[in-house]
Amino acid sequence: PPEHEGGISYTCGALHPDGLIYGTGTNTGVVHIWDLKNQNLAGTLAGDATDDSIVSLAFSNNGYHIGTALSKSAKVQVWDLRKLKVVTTLNVRDDDDKNNLNSVNVVAFDASGKHLAFGGDGGIRITTSKVWGITASLAEDHYVTGILWNNNMNGVAADGDKPYTLVTCSEKERPLRFYGC
């Protein structure tokens, strides 16, 4: 895009589940949506965080939402792609003490698109779509650098098993942790 010449750099990216569009985050808090078939910029999502870098973004599996992690402000924004607007902004520093994170640098939707996990310095938080409040808080003494949802049984629990496993990684001695959800 033309603004790339003005000092904007790309900080992260993710492929849409349909494989036809690609989203990129920038150091100015803007998400660019690229049409891969036509090889052009299809849209721009610009919130109010123009001086903040998007350090992670993820599409929901149904393709309706994008979750973004803003580094400086420790915020998570959820965008509705159908309406091209922010659905919610979660300020993880201003929540009550049990949900407070010092930073947020990774976001990931589960396979159903109903849950968004995000993490950083202080652990992992999980929010539920449509409600967008913190529904689970996993405190950690390490800086979370990656999150992966593993769908064990396509969302159907059997014999008391958990339908999802949440895998996180960090820069500590034991970098991988597994949670049953």
How many residues belong to the chain?
181
One-letter amino acid at 155 equals G
* Of 17-21, 39-43, 161-165, 173-177, minimum mean pLDDT range: 161-165
Please give the Cα distance from 58 to 75 (Å, whole number).
14
Amino acid, single-letter form, for residue 142: H
Per residue in 100-143, pLDDT (tens digit) is: 788 888 999 988 888 899 988 888 888 888 888 888 887 777 77
CB 81 within 8 A of CB 68: no
Residue 166, pLDDT > 90, answer no
Alpha-carbon distance of 155 to 109, in angstroms, equals 13
* Mean per-residue pLDDT of the chain: 80
Q: Where are the beta strands (DSSP E) in the chain?
A: 10-15, 21-26, 30-35, 40-46, 54-59, 65-70, 75-80, 85-91, 106-109, 115-128, 134-151, 164-170, 176-180
Give 175's pLDDT tier (boundaries 50, 70, 90).
low
The full DSSP string for 57-96 is EEE-TTSSEEEEEETTTTEEEEEETTTTEEEEEEETTTS-
What pLDDT score was predicted for residue 120? 86
pLDDT (0 to 100) of residue 171 = 63
pLDDT band at 153 (very low <50, low <70, confident <90, very high): very low
**What is the predicted pLDDT for the residue at 146?**
82
pLDDT of residue 158 exceeding 50: no
pLDDT, position 73: 85
